[in-house]
Structure 1
Amino acid sequence: MLRTRIITAVVLLAVFLPTLFLLPAFYLGALFLLLIAAAAWEWSRLIAPEATLAAWLYALCCLFISMFLVGFSLPEWQLGLLALAALFWFFIAPFLLFKGMNLSLLKLRFFYSILGLILLPAAWLALLLLRDLGPIFLLSTMALVWVADIGAYFLGKTFGKHKLAAQISPGKTIEGAVGGLALTYLFAFLCIVYLPLGDTIFGAWAVRFGWIPMVLMVTVLTLFSISGDLFESQFKRLAGVKDSSHLLPGHGGVLDRIDALLPVLPIAALLVGLI
């Protein structure tokens, strides 16, 4: 399984990195828009697995919302969408995670349907905004999520003894989460030391506010990456499935790959606005 995951990850990076660095920003936006549409299809299938046509319509609706906000250049609406996503991750997601498996997806079907049309377009919009600041700026922000995930996986496997959220994701441990957080601190420090300060959110934040606020910012983004992962795991368990789909060998579905990015990208985009 690990070998398949690594091969799929290498293939994804082989597509992502040239698109990010060698092509105009439009192509990256188009690539991720397709991923968001696939994630929306998976999202709808989790809510109503028997409604095949509804899943395609849901994906089209997500595409329409995304392209409408960007195509018509509506900054107030864009900010509103990012703010709605951030409010969910700050206030509602913790409540849902606290409830564990004591939720009914059937009763919350309408809520989750609306939620997907907020979180998925918001993540895509945030990606475009961060890309406008430079490919390194976007890549380093996304890499924070990957570093946290890698650190949590391997350190959790090695040292993990205490479950982080046993009902939702039995494989995740407190030791893994702490290890992932420590690795993100190291990653942010290396970005500040070896990259121009304005090229990453870490350097820009350290220059504007200082080192301690920068560490707090990294902590917040890392914790929300964990929250996004747990939220998607809870969503799948409520739907009674292991993977959101089988589109990516070894990784499950697209949602399984972008779950931690869903909170981090919009929150990072809003934090950048404070610099």
Structure 2
Amino acid sequence: MLKQRVITAVVMLLVLLPALFAPMAWPFALLMLAMAGAAAWEWGRLNGASSATAVGMGVVTAAACGVALWAGWVHVGPSVAWWLAFVVWVLGGALALKVGVGSWPNLPRVARWLIGMAAIWTAWLALSSAKAAGINFLLSIFCLVWVADIAAYFGGKTFGRRKLAPAISPGKSWEGVWSGMVGVQALAWAWIWADQHWQLPSLDSASLFTVLLERLGAPGLVLALVFLSAMSVVGDLVESLVKRSAGAKDSSNLLPGHGGVLDRVDALLPVFPIAMALSTLGNF
């Protein structure tokens, strides 16, 4: 299993890195478009869609991403999309976690399909727009999610006592969540120091952390990071809820040793559009 995970990870990096460091935005956008289509296909399968319908959902989602790419929204992503995603993820995510695993299937299947496709499309647009803003900006958001997850894992293993959502994800604890938040705070201030002393913005762009510090000040940055860390947990829990409702361990087997695309991007789905929304605050 470990060998399979490593091989898959290496292959993914070999595909991702050239697109990530390409001077133009479209190679990364196209790669993410393919992943969005795969994620929508997985979402359909987890939510009672037939094989043909699930494929259709993937095609429609990828096509919607392609239309946005053709329209130039990657370079000037509509801020209304970020704020709409902000509201939907906060209110909808809280409601989904409150009603629990048993109530999710009571929502009409078509409604569940559309919710997932909309979330995936908005996350794709936010990812692509972040890449257009600059690699430093994009990577800072990726690393925020990764560090929140890693710090939460080790913090939960070491200090975990109180379960966060035992019916949805038995392994998660409140101590893990707090550890993730502490890890993100440390990452952000270290990255800001690097932005200032290594002059990273002059090479490419400012990081999300520097942008938020400039627009919200230090107290606002701290609160924004706590919120983004919490939303990464919400994204993870929502996908876990859907999988448990479907009786599935992984979203698919597309990534051998890693599960499916949704298993790898669940925490990114709310964080990217919300990060983009917060980064526009100074523009109002």
- Structure 2 length-normalised TM: 0.89
Tell me how far apart the structure 1 counterparts of residues 241 and 190 of structure 2 sit (CA, whole Å): 34
| Offset of residue 43 of structure 1 | 0.5
* Range that drifts further, 197-206 or 171-180: 197-206
Equivalent residue, structure 2, for 1:54: 53
Equivalent residue, structure 2, for 1:245: 252
Counting matched residue pairs gives 274
Tell me how far apart the structure 2 counterparts of residues 84 and 208 of structure 1 sit (CA, whole Å): 21
**SS of match in other structure, 1:248:** coil
Unaligned runs of 5+ in 1: none
2:29–2:69 contact (8 Å) kept in structure 1:
no
1:65–1:121 contact (8 Å) kept in structure 2:
yes
In structure 2, what residue type is equivalent to 1:159? F
In structure 2, what residue type is equivalent to 1:194? A
Deviation by residue 1:218-254 (Cα, 9 ceiling, x = unmatched): 1111110000000000011111111100111232110
Equivalent residue, structure 1, for 2:62: 63
Tell me how far apart the structure 2 counterparts of residues 117 and 83 of structure 1 sit (CA, whole Å): 17
Tell me how far apart the structure 2 counterparts of residues 13 and 77 of structure 1 sit (CA, whole Å): 26
Equivalent residue, structure 2, for 1:274: 281
Counterparts in 2 of 1:87 and 1:167: CA distance versus 1, 3 Å: same
* Percent sequence identity over aligned pairs: 41
In structure 1, what residue type is equivalent to 2:32? F
| 2:158 is aligned with 1:158 | yes
| Offset of residue 17 of structure 1 | 2.8
| Offset of residue 128 of structure 1 | 1.6
| Offset of residue 119 of structure 1 | 0.5
1:156–1:176 contact (8 Å) kept in structure 2:
yes
**SS of match in other structure, 1:167:** coil
**SS of match in other structure, 1:170:** strand
CA RMSD of aligned residues (A): 2.1
| Offset of residue 136 of structure 1 | 1.0
Counterparts in 2 of 1:53 and 1:257: CA distance versus 1, 3 Å: same
- Structure 1 length-normalised TM: 0.92
* Range that drifts further, 119-128 or 245-254: 245-254
* Range that drifts further, 189-198 or 52-61: 189-198
Tell me how far apart the structure 1 counterparts of residues 77 and 186 of structure 2 sit (CA, whole Å): 36
Tell me how far apart the structure 2 counterparts of residues 88 and 233 of structure 1 sit (CA, whole Å): 18
Tell me how far apart the structure 1 counterparts of residues 77 and 139 of structure 2 sit (CA, whole Å): 25
Tell me how far apart the structure 2 counterparts of residues 28 and 178 of structure 1 sit (CA, whole Å): 33
Equivalent residue, structure 2, for 1:126: 126
Counterparts in 2 of 1:107 and 1:218: CA distance versus 1, 3 Å: closer
Equivalent residue, structure 1, for 2:180: 180
In structure 1, what residue type is equivalent to 2:215? R
| Offset of residue 141 of structure 1 | 0.8
| Offset of residue 166 of structure 1 | 0.2
Tell me how far apart the structure 1 counterparts of residues 247 and 45 of structure 2 sit (CA, whole Å): 11
Equivalent residue, structure 1, for 2:71: 72
| Offset of residue 22 of structure 1 | 3.8
**SS of match in other structure, 1:172:** strand
Unaligned runs of 5+ in 2: none
Deviation by residue 1:114-159 (Cα, 9 ceiling, x = unmatched): 1022101100111121112111100111110011111111221222
In structure 1, what residue type is equivalent to 2:159? F
Equivalent residue, structure 1, for 2:229: 222
2:160–2:176 contact (8 Å) kept in structure 1:
yes
| Offset of residue 77 of structure 1 | 8.9
Tell me how far apart the structure 2 counterparts of residues 15 and 143 of structure 1 sit (CA, whole Å): 19
Tell me how far apart the structure 2 counterparts of residues 116 and 78 of structure 1 sit (CA, whole Å): 20
Equivalent residue, structure 1, for 2:216: 209
**SS of match in other structure, 1:209:** helix
Tell me how far apart the structure 2 counterparts of residues 11 and 212 of structure 1 sit (CA, whole Å): 41
Counterparts in 2 of 1:158 and 1:2: CA distance versus 1, 3 Å: farther
| 2:41 is aligned with 1:34 | no
Tell me how far apart the structure 1 counterparts of residues 79 and 22 of structure 2 sit (CA, whole Å): 29
2:96–2:104 contact (8 Å) kept in structure 1:
no
